[in-house]
């Protein structure tokens, strides 16, 4: 194989990797939008619970241009601005949404008057949060959220990574070429050909090699590699032994504790699992058990399960958790 062929193979690999990466990147915004809608709907759910309303419906979140969303409610409610600010901050931070955003509470049509609003910046130094501590009257409200964070100028991380990967592939191709030339020179040196004997597994006659028999036992040659099996969780596939969560072409790595906890949930999908039972099965070999550890790992699993928006872990208040498929959080 000549160095030109090796270089052509390297170039082909660059094209394949680039096409795969671009195709995968084009699909990311769809997942992100679905996740953002679910998270923003959770803001409305938490706000109604704080207002003492656990039965009114939250209408579908309306997505607008420039990363703007509108939360609409089926019934009037009252709220305290401090509570709204705390809920939005907590939900946004817990789900990795952009950390700069503008929130406005507006009267329903026809007035559409802004009665409260606040703006949060990434550095928190310029936050604008007026009118705290003043309970608003019970009325029909909509909540408008617009994410204002923008990326830094210059080359984006995806382009930088793609460029770096291409350069590495070219360098690998050139390295193969150098090794090939060096190997060719070594092969032409006198005495470089090793003597062939019976111990090499190659039989010879006057015309050249007749048969190649590797010195391996038959069981080593015919041994089959076991195929790992996974547990289906919605559109995801969970592999306990390798601590992996597969979403289409993407592989999400899990820690040992996350894999152990998800294994318990995966074997009891759509069923409520008691907190004590979860802590016993996951932390039974670790002496002191802290409830906060369970809540922290559940929060981490929720983020990784967002690869399928239909999959979620619900908190059954005062009892435990439930892994559900295709059920809204409210």
pTM passes above 0.85: no
Q: In the listed set 126, 147, 168, which residue is the last one of a domain according to the structure?
A: 147
* Nearest in space to 229 (alpha carbons), one of 219, 220, 237: 237
Same domain, 142 and 253: no
> Average of pLDDT values for 197-217?
50
Same domain, 132 and 235: no
Averaged confidence pLDDT in the chain: 78
Same domain, 34 and 137: yes
Same domain, 36 and 142: yes
**Is there a domain that residue 11 lies in?**
no
pLDDT of the residue at 202? 46
**Is there a domain that residue 7 lies in?**
no
**Is there a domain that residue 155 lies in?**
no
Domain that holds residue 81: 27-147
Percent of the chain scoring above 90 in pLDDT: 35
Residues in the chain: 330
Beta bridge partner(s), residue 252? 245
Whole-angstrom distance, CA of residue 138 vs CA of residue 75: 10
pLDDT of the residue at 288? 57
**Is there a domain that residue 313 lies in?**
yes
What string of DSSP letters covers 66-123?
Answer: TTEEEEEBSS-EEE-HHHHHHHHHHHHHHTT--S-EEEEEEEPTTT--EEEEEEE-TT
**Is there a domain that residue 5 lies in?**
no
**Is there a domain that residue 312 lies in?**
yes
Q: In the listed set 116, 147, 178, which residue is the last one of a domain according to the structure?
A: 147
pLDDT of the residue at 206? 45
29-56 pLDDT, tens digit each: 444 677 888 889 999 999 999 889 989 9
Q: How many CB atoms sit inside 10 A of residue 221's CB? A: 8
Total domains present in the chain: 2
For residue 102, give every residue at least 6 positions away whose Cβ sits within 8 Å of its Cβ, in sequence order, or none.
Answer: 117, 118, 119, 120, 145, 146, 148
Q: In the listed set 147, 181, 212, which residue is the last one of a domain according to the structure?
A: 147
pLDDT of the residue at 34? 78
For residue 266, give the CATH number of its domain.
1.10.10.10
Task: Tell me the CA distances in angstroms from 172 to 3, 169, 176, 303, 327, one per residue in order.
Answer: 12, 5, 6, 36, 49
**Is there a domain that residue 194 lies in?**
no
Same domain, 143 and 235: no
- The tokens of 304 are what? 């990784």
pLDDT of the residue at 132? 82
CA–centroid distance for 151 within its chain? 20
**Is there a domain that residue 154 lies in?**
no
Which band of pLDDT confidence, cut at 50, 70 and 90, is reported for residue 222?
very low
Beta bridge partner(s), residue 244? 239, 253
Q: Which of 47-51, 194-198, 255-259, 300-304 has the lowest mean pLDDT?
A: 194-198
> Average of pLDDT values for 241-260?
91
Whole-angstrom distance, CA of residue 258 vs CA of residue 278: 12
């Amino acid at each position: 194989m000549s160095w030109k062929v090796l270089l052509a193979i390297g170039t082909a690999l660059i094209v394949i990797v680039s096409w795969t990466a671009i195709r995968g990147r084009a699909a990311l915004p769809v997942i992100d939008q679905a996740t953002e809608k679910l998270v923003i709907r959770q803001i409305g759910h938490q706000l109604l619970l704080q207002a003492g309303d656990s039965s009114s419906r939250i209408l579908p979140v309306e997505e607008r241009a420039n990363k703007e969303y509108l939360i609409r409610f089926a019934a009037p409610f009252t709220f305290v601005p401090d509570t709204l600010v705390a809920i939005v901050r907590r939900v946004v931070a817990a789900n990795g949404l952009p950390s700069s955003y503008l929130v406005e509470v507006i009267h329903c049509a026809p007035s559409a008057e802004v009665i409260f609003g606040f703006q949060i910046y990434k550095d928190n130094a310029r936050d604008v949060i007026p009118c705290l501590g003043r309970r608003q009257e019970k009325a029909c409200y909509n909540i408008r959220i617009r994410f204002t964070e923008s990326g830094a100028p210059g080359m984006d991380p995806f382009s930088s990574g793609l460029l770096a990967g291409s350069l590495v592939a070219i360098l690998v191709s050139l390295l193969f070429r150098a090794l090939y030339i060096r190997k060719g020179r070594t092969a032409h040196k006198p005495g470089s050909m090793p003597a062939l004997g019976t111990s090499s597994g190659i039989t010879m006659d006057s015309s050249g090699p007749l048969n190649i028999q590797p010195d391996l036992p038959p069981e080593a040659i015919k041994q089959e590699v076991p195929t790992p099996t996974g547990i289906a969780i919605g559109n995801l596939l969970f592999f306990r032994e390798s601590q992996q969560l597969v979403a289409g072409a993407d592989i999400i790595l899990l820690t040992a504790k996350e894999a152990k906890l998800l294994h318990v949930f995966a074997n009891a999908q759509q069923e409520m699992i008691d907190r004590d039972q979860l802590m016993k099965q996951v932390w039974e070999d670790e002496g002191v058990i802290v409830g906060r550890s369970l809540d922290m790992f559940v929060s981490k699993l929720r983020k990784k399960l967002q690869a399928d928006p239909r999959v979620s872990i619900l908190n059954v208040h005062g009892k435990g958790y439930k892994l559900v498929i295709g059920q809204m959080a409210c």
